[in-house]
Amino acid sequence: MSSRPLIYFDARMIAHDPGRFHPESPARLEAIEAMLDTLTAAKIDRRQAGEAGREAIERVHTGAYIDSIDALRGKSAQLDPDTALSAGSVEAAYLAAGAAIEAVTALFAEEHRRAFALVRPPGHHAEAGRAMGFCVFNNIAIAAAHATAQLGCERVLIIDWDVHHGNGTQHSFEERADILVFNTHQHPFYPGTGSVNEVGKGHGAGFNINVPLLAGMGDGDYAAVYEQVLIPIAEHYKPELVLVSAGFDAHYSDPLASMALTTAGFAHLCTVACQIADRHANGRIALCLEGGYDTATLTGCVRACIDVLSDAYVSAIETAPSDATRSAIEHVRRLFADFWPIGEAH
């Protein structure tokens, strides 16, 4: 098994151009590509993926929605107020989903322990039957569903640290116990979902965990949430695969949000996710790019996470959480006490 992280990148995804002034711009991947070009083959195993097949996408999206997207291949269109397509967008969306699938497949083939799918358009807002919030197909959800349907994976943990709640991912799996979704996000904020009381439904009750955080929260707040909520729950859930919706728009420099994470803070979150994967999932972890709209910051955060995946960077956070975050943690732990024996917060 290779110790190098598997990095999926395809320049064809740069052809997705939602408009001159749109924050989810081709410049995001162009900056990442320039950074990747500085990394040697000894550092990363860089690959391209093919387009996702329809069967894989239909595990998350409706046939009618897929048909509507297919009809727009090679065309420009406005799918919702935030989500626009150009001539290259549909191909990019299929490639993004394909990269997420192939990354997970490689992990179960024991080629690699760790992977990062550097994709666009992002995915975690996309619902079963509609595009939303810059997202066309829900890449991370498609990868998780593929793992359970095709790779024999019985328990998937999805960690979403994007500043926006991953509504599409939550709704994809809120009635399932084999895919646990853990979201931290600025609240109140777009898309308006992600209340702590949204715990899942039916067999999925207790397997959807939201930790909404007030604007301005930073490294110490996120580190405390991961230590006092995510790690104890993962200890009981014992995932066989860890997936991360890796958005970097909770960084203090991001123009679309109001959080205060640093690059070192994101590296710490990645470190914790890797530790969970190492402890429970034979090291299997795949990150999938979501948001992050300051290109220099985005590139720095992606590089920091690649360094973590390469065991070249371990970030420790010593900043204490705010009183508001302590209260949020206590609330979440009390609410989930009926589902998980996670003890008292500290």
Whether 268 is a known active-site residue: answer no
CA distance linking residue 99 with residue 105, whole number of Å: 10
HSE, side-chain direction, 13 A CA sphere, residue 253:
12
Distance of CA 19 to the CA centre of its chain: 24
List CB contacts of 92: < 8 A, sequence separation 6 or more: 12, 13, 14, 15, 16, 120, 121
Quick one: which of 199, 191, 192, 193 has its CA closest to 182?
A: 199
* HEC sequence for 197-259: CCCCCHHHCCCEEEEEECCCCEHHHHHHHHHHHHHHHHHHHCCCEEEEEECCCCECCCCCCCC
Angle at 301 between CA 186 and CA 295, to 5 degrees: 85
Burial label for 279, CB within 10 Å (0-12, 13-18, 19+), is middle
DSSP string, 29-86: HHHHHHHHTTS-TTT-EEE---PPPHHHHHTTS-HHHHHHHHTTTTS-EEEETTEEE-
- Which helix (H) or strand (E) segment is 27 a member of? helix 26-36
Which of 61, 124, 125, 251 is the catalytic position?
125
Is residue 158 within 8 Å of 237, Cβ to Cβ?
A: no
Catalytic residues: 125
